[in-house]
Chains A and B, each alone.
Chain A
Amino acid sequence: MRTLLKRLVAGLAVLYGAASLAFLSLHLIPGDPVAILLGPATTASPEVRRQISAELGFDRPLLTQYLGHLGRLASGDLGSSYQLQRPVGWLIADQLGPTVQLAVAAIVVALALALISAITTAGRHPAARALASAWELTAVSLPSYWLGVLLLTAFSFHLRLFPIIGGDGPAALVLPAVTLALPIAGVLAQVLREGLESALAQPFALTARARGLSQTAVRLRHALRHAAGSLATLAGWLVGTLLGGAVLVETVFGRPGLGALTLQAVQNRDMPVVMGVVLVSALTFVVISALVDLLYLAIDPRLRGAVVA
């Protein structure tokens, strides 16, 4: 219980930090926040600027603004977009669907590729391992935006197997999901393979073999569970890579989604939207980390002991 409580506090601290970061990045940087909001190209008159400033509360003391900012966030109000004149919460909710679809599809593809690669090559013939390590290295080194361009050129423009831009059927999801998944699969496969190999090198694997179990049975029944533990530590990285990768992949394939929304907001310096996205990704990170911690407890009884005692 103690550990779980600690994790909860740490999660809240991260969220509070992200909220403060949002506030800070708007107020502590040199220059007038109104100028940043309006962008460099604006021709707004001083009166208009003053009016905006008063409307957004920029003329009040910083501490008051900060507390107000936190208070609004706590009540679920993420503010309004300057550009689109709509509540940020709505904007994000609208775009969440396609991105979640993309992320889930990518995870499934990446896990499947990683599992197949790791189980078939871990601790096998040196040539098989060299091959596995070569593909992992290539996948890890592939920039997703280039991979997307390549797949688009080959499968959409030349082979015409998949729709070119946009579209929302399952067919439109295939190339983006693979693009997002491949670099992730490279990392997962590598970690999984190393986890399997270190588990297979431990005495309990020898005991299990000496019991009469086959190689494959030892892998599936014993080693895989140990390797899954090493995967769990990657969960945070995975969330970040999926969300960050979505920005690029959605741009390449012209898909709607959180990434496209973020990109547009950054281009227009629509800070409330940018900050909304920051908070939503921090929240996602905290929730997923907590879930993975629970999963980890289910996998490894040694940790459970520490929690109970």
Chain B
Amino acid sequence: MRRYWPLLVSCLVLVPFGVAAAVPELLSDASPIAIDPVNALLPPGTRHWFGTDQLGRDLFTRVVHGARPSLLIGAGATAAAVVAGGLLGLAAALGGRAADQVVMRVADVLMSLPQLLVALVVIAVLGAGTTNLVLAIAIAFTPGYARVVRAEALVVRGSGYVESAKGLGLRRSVLIVRHILPNAVGPLLVLATVGFGTALIAGSGLGFLGFGTQPPAPEWGAMLAEGRDFLETAWWLGVFPGAAITVTVIAVNVLGRAARGRFAGGKP
């Protein structure tokens, strides 16, 4: 049981974030965008748990409402990258030499660049905005997934059990669907868990740079950027949105590690 408590805690931590993303009204009935200049820059207290920002908006409400865009950007980018990377990786591993060369050389080029720079190039070409942001992060992360899936599929393809199945006289398509795919997908999902955390950091980072959700809509990265101008007087503006990102990422990473351990334990 002692081994499971970090897992349990991280699940418990993620629940309120999930609720905030799904039904933010449940946690805070105030409006995240209603301006109230009289109560601007109030420190955290009983009325405003996280304080208020320069326009008098309740910071707690904005952090709650910021969960959906922030988490959606991370999740959307991860999902797109996992699917694209998974398909490309499988194509490279099982689709013959030409497919392998094309996919892996392009992946080599993209992976020689910082992920953030790849995302920035995409944004420079396509322009800012939430959809483009998701696309940019997905493109930056795809080669990594493709490479892992390819490697994993090659390991599985060369494994004793695939050889044994081949020795039984099974068709290639049966081999791929029955043995290679399910065994190559496991590590991909583990990786995707940790990858979601990285995508969340990247997405909020681009939001922080001003390329994502445009004000006044709440998004954690953009909120941090706005609060940066008031750090001298209102430290809470720099603390809470970032803490929301960090706590989510830590919890997700704990989950990812547990999944990795479990997966490794399940393998010979």
Contacts and interface: CB of A to CB of B under 8 A. Distances in A.
Direct contact between A and B judged by beta carbons closer than 8 A: yes
B249 A143 contact: yes
Interface string B204-246: 1100111100000000010010011001100100110111011
A281 B121 CA distance: 13
Interface in B112-145: 112-117, 120-127
A17 B109 contact: yes
Contacts of B108: 10, 13-14, 17
Give the size range of A's interface with the partner. 35 or more
B105 interface: yes
B116 A244 contact: yes
A277 B117 CA distance: 9
A215 to B, nearest CB: 27
A143 B112 contact: no
Contact of A143 (B114, B201, B238, B239): B201
Contacts of A244: 114-117
Interface stretch (A55-63, A107-115, A258-266, A297-305): A258-266
Interface in B244-264: 245-246, 249-250, 253-254, 257
Contacts of A143: 201, 204-205, 242, 245-246, 249
Interface string A11-31: 001100110010001100100
A152 interface: yes
B246 A271 contact: no
Given A36-B125, A137-B250, A150-B238, A18 B113 contact: yes
Interface in A33-78: 36, 40
Interface residues of B, number: 47
Contacts of B224: 145-146, 149
Given A18-B113, A143-B246, A153 B238 contact: yes
Given A137-B253, A153-B238, A263 B124 contact: no
Contacts of A266: 120-121, 123-124, 211
A152 B238 CA distance: 10
Nearest to B235: A153
A302 B211 CA distance: 48
Contacts of B106: 17
B254 A145 contact: no
Contact of B109 (A26, A146, A245, A282): A282
A274 B114 contact: no
A167 B200 CA distance: 31
A21 B139 CA distance: 13
A7 interface: no
By secondary structure, the B interface counts as: helix
A236 interface: yes
A161 B116 CA distance: 31
A138 B249 CA distance: 9
Interface stretch (A171-179, A196-204, A246-254): A246-254
A278 B209 contact: no
B109 A14 contact: yes
Interface in A147-180: 149-150, 152-153, 157-158
A274 B120 contact: yes
A282 B112 CA distance: 6
Nearest to B241: A146
B205 A145 contact: yes
Contacts of B245: 143, 146
B239 A281 contact: no
Contacts of B210: 267
A140 to B, nearest CB: 7
A145 B126 contact: no
Contacts of A158: 235
Contacts of B122: 25
B70 to A, nearest CB: 11
Contacts of A152: 231, 238
A291 interface: no
Contact of B121 (A25, A140, A144, A240): A25
B7 interface: no
B75 to A, nearest CB: 17
Contacts of A233: none
Nearest to A284: B112
B114 A21 contact: no
B117 to A, nearest CB: 6
Nearest to B197: A141
A189 interface: no
A101 B249 CA distance: 29
Nearest to B110: A21
B111 interface: yes
B246 A146 contact: yes
A13 B123 CA distance: 25
Nearest to B124: A266
A132 interface: no
A184 interface: no
B246 A243 contact: no
Which 6 A-B pairs rank lowest in CB-CB distance, beginning with the nearest?
A146-B242, A17-B109, A244-B114, A244-B116, A240-B114, A141-B249
Given A144-B205, A146-B242, 7 more contacts: A149-B228, A149-B231, A247-B116, A267-B210, A269-B124, A274-B121, A285-B113
11 contacts: A14-B109, A140-B253, A141-B201, A143-B245, A145-B224, A157-B231, A243-B117, A244-B116, A247-B120, A262-B117, A282-B109
